[in-house]
């Protein structure tokens, strides 16, 4: 028996994983495939949620702008949905979609939608009436006015709302761990239950880095879409 225990403790290398340290580069090396899978799910949820938010939110904002009662309804509904805590929203979608990634995508898509609708409506309302009058004066019809003047001028507000939605979505995705689809949040949840410190810290840091990367990417998109604003502070 003593021989066995000697062999056993000798085979247990002394490193940051076995010492359960918070900062552990060895964790990154040995679990890179798990981390990549989690980041992959995180990004998938982000892209799909933002796509839902944009594809539904943008037309909805255009419609709402022309019809006052619709605007009241849309903005009111957006406030109500946005107020519902994410954990509650996830499980209120649950009866229809079950413990799938769709649950998280739908709930976070709904959040992005509320942020983007408000951003686009505010952007369109912020277009100076003098600019609109000038465009009409040189003969722009309603469609051309909308697509060549109003929408381009609303782009900064649209992208600002996309940035808020994108960064929030990255952070809120972690809560998706409640339905087992939280991207890096799954690693946080597992790390909590097994008291695996390196996993918790690595997943936390990666989530924050992902949020900042998304923010910078969307900021670059805004610069590319609004060349006339170069040199103006964002």
List of residues contacting another protein (CB under 8 A): 79-80, 82-89, 91-92, 94-95, 115, 118-119, 122, 160-161, 164, 167-168, 170-172, 174-175, 177-179, 182, 185, 188-189, 191-192, 195, 197, 200-201, 203-204, 207-208, 211-212, 215
Tell me which DSSP letter residue 16 carries. T
**Minimum CB distance to another protein, residue 227 (Å):** 24
170 sits in which H/E element = helix 151-173
CB of 35 to another protein, least distance (A): 15
Spatial separation of the C-alpha atoms in residues 168 and 112, rounded to whole Å: 9
CA angle 109, 146, 60 (to 5 degrees): 25
Give SS3 for 1: coil
Q: Pick the closer one to another protein by CB: 136 or 221.
A: 221
Nearest distance from C-beta of residue 100 to another protein, angstroms: 13
Q: Find the shortest distance in angstroms from Cβ 146 to another protein.
A: 22
**Alpha helix stretches (DSSP H) within 67-150:** 68-83, 86-97, 101-125, 129-137, 142-145
DSSP reduced 3-state for 13: coil
Shorter beta-carbon distance to another protein: residue 126 or 142: 126
Tokens of 225: 């879409």
Q: Specify the residue, 57 or 182, whose C-beta has the smaller distance to another protein.
A: 182
Closest distance to another protein from the beta carbon of 106 (Å): 14
Residue with tokens 């225990």: 5
The Cα angle at residue 173 between residues 171 and 178, in degrees rounded to 5: 125
Nearest CB to another protein, comparing residues 132 and 190: 190
Instruction: Check if the beta carbon of residue 182 is closer than 8 Å to that of residue 189.
Output: yes
C-beta of 24 vs 178, nearer to another protein = 178
Closer residue to another protein in complex, CB, 149/180: 180
The answer for residues whose C-beta is within 8 angstroms of residue 158's C-beta and 6 or more apart is: 58, 116, 119, 120, 123
- Minimum CB separation of residue 173 from another protein in Å reads 8
With respect to another protein, which residue has the nearer C-beta, 150 or 176? 176
CA distance 204 to 200: 6
């Amino acid at each position: 028996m003593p021989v066995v225990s000697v062999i056993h403790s000798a085979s247990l290398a002394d490193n940051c994983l076995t010492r359960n340290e918070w900062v552990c580069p060895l964790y990154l090396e040995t679990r890179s495939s798990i981390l990549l899978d989690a980041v992959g799910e995180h990004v998938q949820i982000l892209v799909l949620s933002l796509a839902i938010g944009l594809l539904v939110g943008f037309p909805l904002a255009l419609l709402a702008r022309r019809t006052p009662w619709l605007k009241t309804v849309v903005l009111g509904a957006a406030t109500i949905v946005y107020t519902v805590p994410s954990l509650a929203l996830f499980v209120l979608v649950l009866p229809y979609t079950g413990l799938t990634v769709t649950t998280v995508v739908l709930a976070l898509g709904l959040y992005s939608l509320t942020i983007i609708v408000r951003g686009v409506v505010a952007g369109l309302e912020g277009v100076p009436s003098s600019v609109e009058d000038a465009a009409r004066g040189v003969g722009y019809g309603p469609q051309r006015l909308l697509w060549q003047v109003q929408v381009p001028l609303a782009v900064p507000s649209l992208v600002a709302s996309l940035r808020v939605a994108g960064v929030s979505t990255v952070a809120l995705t972690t809560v998706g761990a409640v339905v087992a689809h939280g991207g890096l949040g799954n690693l946080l949840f597992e790390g909590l239950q097994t008291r695996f410190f390196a996993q918790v810290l690595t997943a936390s840091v990666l989530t924050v880095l992902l949020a900042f990367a998304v923010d910078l990417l969307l900021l670059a998109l805004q610069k590319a879409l609004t060349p006339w604003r170069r040199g103006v502070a964002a």
